[in-house]
């Protein structure tokens, strides 16, 4: 069991709202801060988290983990954020998908995400709505916010039409998670409305 900053206890191996599709019985949690893999999962994970890309992360001064939607135009904008951050001197930016984890390997997403979170100096969330698998990433960050509080940046899209704003962010649990993350990030929440705004928002991330 893990106690979040809100005092709520949760079990990462059984909380289906935390990582949808992961069989908690296949994971063994040996402590409040460790997500332990089965031997088979560990070997599979090692085939993905290795090589030049991981070396770049290890030897870069600034290491940006970029989370958010991965498909369609939101996915393109998230990659734009990654690329702009990656272009900086002595920096590397990366997404979970960059390590070749396919949809059918969802049982590895949570441990891979945890490893990359721990290795990053900045976690940058690019948020446009609550439609997609990145909602569980919000859940992870929410429950681990005490660990990422000082390195979390949220680039949150806002919409001029209030009805569209509500529609885009209409997910009770995710909305509660985001509200907690916004409080944790405080001044590191940067709002944007279009791609020009987004480029400027990226420039605010140190």
What's the burial of 87, exposed, middle or buried (CB within 10 Å: 0-12/13-18/19+)?
Answer: exposed
Return per-residue pLDDT of the chain as tens, 206 residues: 434 444 444 444 434 333 333 343 433 343 334 456 788 888 888 877 876 777 788 889 999 999 988 888 999 999 999 999 999 999 999 998 888 876 667 778 878 888 888 889 999 999 998 877 677 777 778 777 677 778 999 999 999 999 999 989 887 788 888 888 888 889 999 999 999 999 999 999 99
What's the pTM value of the predicted model, to 2 decimals?
A: 0.77
Tokens of 98: 């960059």
Domains of the chain and CATH, by start: 32-203 (3.40.50)
DSSP 76: H
């Amino acid at each position: 069991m893990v106690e979040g900053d809100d005092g709520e206890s949760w079990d990462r191996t059984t909380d289906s709202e935390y990582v949808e599709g992961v069989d908690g019985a296949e994971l063994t949690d040996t402590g409040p801060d460790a997500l332990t893999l089965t031997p088979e999962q560990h070997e599979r994970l090692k085939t993905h988290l290795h090589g030049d890309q991981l070396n770049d992360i290890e030897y870069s001064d600034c290491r940006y983990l970029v989370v958010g939607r991965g498909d369609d135009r939101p996915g393109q904008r998230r990659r734009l954020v990654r690329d702009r951050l990656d272009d900086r001197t002595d920096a590397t930016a990366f997404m979970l998908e960059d390590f070749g984890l396919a949809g059918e390997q969802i049982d590895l997403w949570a441990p891979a995400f945890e490893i990359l979170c721990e290795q990053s100096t900045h976690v940058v969330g690019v948020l446009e709505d609550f439609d997609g698998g990145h909602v569980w990433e919000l859940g992870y960050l929410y429950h681990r916010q005490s660990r990422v509080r000082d390195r979390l940046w949220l680039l949150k899209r806002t919409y001029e039409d209030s009805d569209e704003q509500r529609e885009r962010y209409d997910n009770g649990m995710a909305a509660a998670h985001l509200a907690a993350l916004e409080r944790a990030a405080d001044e590191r929440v940067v709002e944007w409305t279009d791609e020009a705004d987004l480029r400027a928002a990226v420039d605010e991330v140190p």
